Structure 1
Amino acid sequence: MSRSSSSNPLALAVLATLIEEPMHPYRITQVLRGRGKEHSIRLNWGSLYSVIASLEKNGLIEAQRAEREGARPERTVYAITDAGRAKAMGWLRRILEVPAKEYPDFEAGLSLIGLLTPEESLALLRRRLELLDARIDELAEAARYPLPEVFLVENNYELAMVRAERVFVADLVDRLERGAVGGQALWAEMHRRLAAGEEVGDLLADYEGHLTAEGAPPPAP
């Protein structure tokens, strides 16, 4: 199985769905969307066919039969193999057990926040707080849906994560407003020089050199 497919949650979702019964790709999509899985797994038609082709190539699923309904094109029904069942179970166990480093866009943005001025960053983070509040309301409403918790656990997880992010962002906004973020003065000075058409390489090099001399790894400005 290719590296991309073996790390693609959609492949695991396909295997999990086929454990229930053999299905054609369109039916797999219907089942996943009907259960709201597109909110936690990136699901689109093109990716689904690529994943199915990879799973079949690697012997994890197999074409069982072809079906035709009326004038519609013929559809291939796939069944999971014993190897596919073992793969799905082992994969899911690993995901649940082993914390993995992920690379969310927001974390990447924070690592490069120094490219923007403190003032613009503050305005953007205030807006993010508003959007986080709206998302929290949506997730909290979904959590009240009359279903057993096992069918809502991914929603409840996202709710917990969004609430935690809101706490972080609110604290960062508060400290930016008070000028209390470490390195904020340097950050502002860097943009003052950039606005004046000056270079800032020496400023940052001096700062990083000072921290390195003290034995601390240089943080982002």
Structure 2
Amino acid sequence: MTHVDALRDKAVTAELRDRLDGAVGAHLRDRLVAAAHREGLLDVAYRTVDSPVGPLLLAATSAGLVRVAFDLEGQDAVLAELATLVSPRILAAPARLDAVARQVDEYFAGTRHDFDVPLDFRLSKGFRRSVLEHLVDIPYGRTESYAQVATAAGSPKAVRAVGTACATNPIPLVVPCHRVVRSNGSFGGYRGGEDAKRLLLTMEAAA
């Protein structure tokens, strides 16, 4: 065996070992997730998905989708927030979020205009929750002003509070706060950044 052959065989062996380690790791993770769920020790499942607005962190409880986070928010910070506000029993459990991930892919592919997944609004209280519950009724490709949302949520003068509710929306994209704009038509702020909001609104307007 030549030196080149030996190096090639070593590289192939390393690649196979990495693949095996990955498969074993995934299998053990699945077993851990199943055991945690069976024993009632998994309160928050999460996974990440790629999207045109960057990686998205999806997190769900038994009640439904509780968090969608943009990359700029920092995955570690978001998971720490969930551990404090929801439960420290958090595990990466991709399969638990397959339906959400599939619908996110369909949305960006232009084949889905409405999300059909259960939502857990526990991270929003009072008026903020009322705002979010209204946002899901804003149709794809349409926008409303902060003032219109305030009126629809039952407090016509609470325009600034609507802005806060949108800025702190824990389930952006699925709860479409990006469809709320200023009265003059300008975008306003967005948890995922202005570029992400522009992309979403432009994509929906073109459909």
Q: Which structure has the highest helix share of the two?
A: 1
The TM-score normalised by the length of structure 2 is: 0.21
TM-score, normalisation: structure 1: 0.20
Higher-strand-fraction structure: 2
